[in-house]
A and B are shown apart, each in its own frame.
Chain A
């Protein structure tokens, strides 16, 4: 059987997105089983030597000319127009597999339409996905600047799924949610692969890193990534401030980039923590990953989320770091023995503070958790196996008809009857799990046809 020929649309380093890091870890292994060409946006030169040396990289404008050379385009998508705008029209015109790192795309579509002065286009997207009456209600909310309150229920992912021939997501909750919205779609949930960037040392010089930041003899708490409101840094800072009374030698490292929409430096000043908290700024993938080994305890909260699996926690667990995570759907698949999970409820700060104190007093527990985490990641997030699963899904999509087969054909009135029955049952509070109730109803409907 000839090798699959893939056209891969993805951001690459040095672009400051975790998706570049993710793709660069996976593509060399996918390229062992399929022929891969990469199509990138204009305005930068890819910097990862492993990618540049071994794979063909083309500007995206060349794709239309080359499209017939490929069996399948693959589009790596995230909720940030900056890195994914160039793929948009190709997803529509050359349907392929969409790799959804997020499952909410409100910000993406707002940036693409309204932020460019085209509010009508944004409304049109809402109407296409949700119908006119819901679209009008969402527009009221969006005009008031409060779209974040409803973005989870109106993710605007439906268009991207509709265009696709197949979708890959990276957690089961995302798959479940997408299937609810787009029942006819072909959606596969795979796992994020664990890998370390090229050049990652066998032993990280943690003492050297501590020296660099002048924190040699301190007890270090760390949080990583892009600091946005969902990371709940305000909660972390308040808990840390209380923790200082227990461990005056503690320091808090915020390792990553601050978002202009979230005033973390201002928060640090307001809490009087300038001497105890360091905000490092952006780092490249290699330096960032080495810093994951720096803290004694890591906090990685996220609420609300936008459906995508979080990449940094995966690396933290794979490196055996004691990590406190939010207890949310997208992290369900990480067992609690590998990390600590806290609910994003009204007790969140208190729980976080209590867990910091407990873990600080029980280094043996931290060590055991770290060992468990390393073992778990090794077993379930193996990069070679996951790359193979990607290729298998691509092959399955290529071998299938252009779109997944629709629902079994019904006569119109059968379909209508099912829909209306479902609406009444749902209004009565019946759920899809009430099998005993639904079975005889389904039999009665089938008997009528």
Chain B
């Protein structure tokens, strides 16, 4: 006859099963969020990593009024005159940005590989190998 204790034990076992299942799902979800978040962030970083030294002035339309137009024209001239100074600075910054994004990308790939290694170690603990001992080769 099923007693109240049996029912209570079965309920606890049922809750425990569901709790474990939900924890596994949550860990998986956390891993998914982290992994895709890193890659998506890297993609966005790479997209904006290159600075353009040629910022638009009076483009695509000239400003309204004569004085704003004169100012814009002077800015265009100054921009051209300073190109010798600005362009090398921008190029150096872009090199640095590219190096940083490349380094971050390498770290992300290493992280992914380590994650795979951790998963592999967890799988080893599951002991799902069919049979090892009979096939071990000894010297």
Most chain A Cβ neighbours within 10 Å, of B15, B32, B36, B123:
B15
Q: In chain A between 141 and 157, which residues have their CB closer than 8 angstroms to a CB of chain B?
A: 141, 144, 146, 149-150, 153-154
From A335, A408, A418, A432, B129 is in contact (CB under 8 Å) with: A335
What separation, in Å, do the CA atoms of A146 and B39 have in the docked complex?
8
Interface size (B, Cβ < 8 Å)?
A: 48
User: Contact: A150 with B124, CB < 8 Å?
Assistant: no
B40 touches A153 (CB 8 A): no
Distance A282 CA – B13 CA, assembled complex (angstroms):
54
Contact call B43/A144, Cβ cutoff below 8 A? yes
Complex: chain A residue closest to B26, CB-CB: A426
Chain A residues contacting B28 (CB-CB under 8 Å) are: 153, 180-181
* Complex Cα spacing A153 to B136, Å: 34
Interface of B is mostly: helix
- Interface code B109-139, partner A: CB below 8 Å = 1, 0 otherwise? 1001100110110011010111110111100
Q: Which A330-364 residues have a C-beta within 8 angstroms of B?
A: 332-333, 335-338, 343-345
B19 within 8 A of A: yes
Query: Chain A contact residues (Cβ within 8 angstroms of B): what range?
Result: 35 or more
State the total of A-B contacts with C-beta under 8 angstroms: 151
Tell me whether A138 and B36 are in contact in the complex, defined as CB-CB below 8 angstroms, given that A337-B136, A431-B27 are known contacts: yes
Residues of B within 8 A of A329 (CB): 119-120, 123
Pair B135/A376 contact, Cβ less than 8 Å: yes
Contacts of A439 in B (CB 8 A): 12, 16
A349 to chain B, nearest CB (A): 15
Among A153, A181, A365, A431, the one with the most B-chain Cβ atoms within 10 Å of its Cβ is A153
Whether, in the assembled complex, B31 has its beta carbon less than 8 Å from a beta carbon of chain A, the answer is yes
A128 surroundings in chain B (CB, below 8 A): none
CA gap between A55 and B35 in the complex, in Å:
47
Contact between A335 and B130 (Cβ–Cβ < 8 Å)? yes
Determine how close the nearest CB of chain B comes to the CB of A409; give it in whole angstroms: 10
1/0 per residue, CB under 8 A from B, across A407-449: the answer is 1101000110011011101110011100000110111011001
Q: A430 to chain B: which residues have CB within 8 Å?
A: 23
Known contacts A153-B31, A368-B137; is A431 also within 8 Å of B40 by CB?
A: no
Interface pair A438/B40, CB less than 8 Å apart: no
B109, B112, B120, B131: the one contacting A327 at CB < 8 Å is B120
Instruction: Flag if A438 contacts B16 (CB, 8 Å).
Output: yes
Write out the residue numbers on chain A whose beta carbons fall within 8 Å of the beta carbon of B75.
none
Among B30, B33, B43: residue with most chain A CB under 10 A: B43
A307 to B15 alpha-carbon distance, docked (Å): 30
Binding site for A on B (CB under 8 A): 8, 11-16, 18-28, 30-33, 35-37, 39-40, 43-44, 109, 112-113, 116-117, 119-120, 123-124, 126, 128-132, 134-137
Residues of A within 8 A of B (CB): 130, 134, 137-138, 140-141, 144, 146, 149-150, 153-154, 172-173, 176, 180-181, 183, 304, 327-329, 332-333, 335-338, 343-345, 365, 368-369, 372, 375-376, 380, 407-408, 410, 414-415, 418-419, 421-423, 425-427, 430-432, 438-439, 441-443, 445-446, 449
Would you list 15 pairs from A and B whose C-beta atoms are within 8 A, ordered by A residue? A138-B36, A140-B40, A141-B39, A141-B43, A150-B35, A150-B36, A176-B126, A338-B135, A344-B116, A376-B130, A380-B130, A421-B19, A427-B30, A432-B24, A443-B15
Given contacts A376-B131, A426-B23, A426-B30, 6 further A-B contacts (CB under 8 A): A141-B39, A335-B130, A344-B116, A365-B137, A422-B25, A427-B26
